[in-house]
Amino acid sequence: MAGIIEKLGNTDRRIIFVLIALSVIIPISFNLILPNPVGAEPSRDLFDYVDALPEGSNVLVSFDYDPSTMPELQPMAEAVVLHLFKKNVNIVGMALWPQGASLGQDAMSGMADSLGKVQFEDWVNLGYKTGGGVMIVRLGSSVSAVFPTDKDNVPWAEIPMLRNITGLESFSLIISLSAGDPGIIQWVMMAGDRFGVPIGCGCTAVSAPTLYTYLQTGQMVGMLGGLKGAADYETLVGIKGGQAIRGMAPQSVAHIVIMLFIIIGNVAYFSQRKKGGAK
């Protein structure tokens, strides 16, 4: 028995890679979908907050990510945009990351087409602007000064849904879908704490633990953390077999495999230490 444990402890890392690959490929190939119950979690808080917004409210959605984090953040973007459209809320999209503007366009135009929403009346994409936190402070006093045109150079004055928008106080909620810096922390610092606008966020799983502190203090109304957060929102909005929900089956199977290897590694380590082989 001790010999087997020792051998397992010295497993070639490439075998582990193959097992992880299989644990992801097999559930995707068989289209395995696991139940995704959503409890009293930050994702439900964000959903409830959006759900309670009155019709005709203005919500700013900032697409602060690029293609490298698409598997986590694009399903979130699509689910959030769908929910906002279903609630008849006006969406003003923008980006703190250059490629976020195009990814936001994909999410908004795709959902708008399927729900019959009209560009410049129900949604607009203002595009990307450099500056991060400094630019957010400027948005606080005048959004049109920062974005005199939309992403495709349509002048502000020609966009009907922007007539009532002045500064950040015109928005009932700001949602930042953020992969890092600049992103959610700048929105909390500059828009939330400085101008008092409620902030919600979707973030990569890597950054989720550091952002929980802003939830506990009430500086954010809700949060979608990683693929699980995206799957939660898809479930709450009612998207059947969404990309994130489908991703949670391989995610869960791979986690089980990793946990098994952690247990095996620890058992092998302590077994060797008992024999005096490891320090």
Partner 1 sequence: MNWEILGIWLGALVTFCLYSFLYRDNPFYKFAEHLFVGMSAGYWVIYNIENVLIPNWWQKMFPAEGGFSWIWVIPGIFALFMIARIVPKIASFSRLSLGMIIGAGAGLNMVSFFQTNALAQVKGTIFSLASDSVWSVFSSLVLVIGVVSGLVYFFFSKAHTGVVGKTANVGITILMVAFGASFGYTIMARLSLLIGRCQFLLEDWLPTIPRLLGFGG
* Contacts (CB under 8 A) with partner 1, residues 39-78: 68-72
| Per-residue contact flags (x/-) with partner 1 for residues 151 to 190, judged by CB under 8 A | ----------------------------------x--xxx
When asked if residue 29 is in the footprint of partner 1 (CB under 8 A), the reply is yes
How far apart are alpha carbons 137 and 244 in whole angstroms?
34
Q: Which residues of 92-125 are buried (b: 16+ CB within 10 A; e: fewer)?
A: bbbbbbeebbbbbbebbbebbeeeebebeebbbb
To the nearest whole angstrom, how small is the minimum distance from the Cβ of residue 105 to partner 1?
A: 14
* CA dist., res. 256 & res. 143, Å (int): 47
- In whole angstroms, give the CA distance from residue 34 to residue 147: 43
Does 208 sit near partner 1 (CB under 8 A)?
yes
Q: Cβ of residue 66: shortest distance to partner 1, in angstroms? A: 11
Residue 90 CA to residue 153 CA, distance in Å, equals 20
Q: Is 246 in the site for partner 1 (CB under 8 A)?
A: yes
Provide, rounded to whole angstroms, the least separation between the CB of residue 189 and partner 1: 4
Residue pointed to by tokens 């059947």: 240
Query: Among residues 148 and 160, whose Cβ is nearest to partner 1?
Result: 148
Stretch that binds partner 1, among 85-93, 105-113, 132-140, 233-241 (CB under 8 A): 132-140
Task: Give yes or no for residue 98 binding partner 1 (CB under 8 A).
Answer: yes
d(CA 179, CA 181): 7
- Encoded tokens for 257: 């495999």
Let me know: does 103 contact 72? Beta carbons within 8 Å. Answer: no
Nearer to partner 1 among residue 70 and residue 264 (C-beta): 70
Q: Which of 204, 232, 235, 236 binds partner 1 (CB under 8 A)?
A: 204
The residue type at 269: Y
How far apart are the C-alpha atoms of 28 and 269, rounded to whole Å?
34
Q: Which residues bind partner 1 (CB under 8 A)?
A: 14, 17, 20-21, 24-25, 28-29, 68-72, 98, 128, 130, 133-134, 137, 185, 188-190, 192-194, 204-206, 208-209, 213, 216-219, 225-228, 243, 246-247, 250-251, 254-255, 258
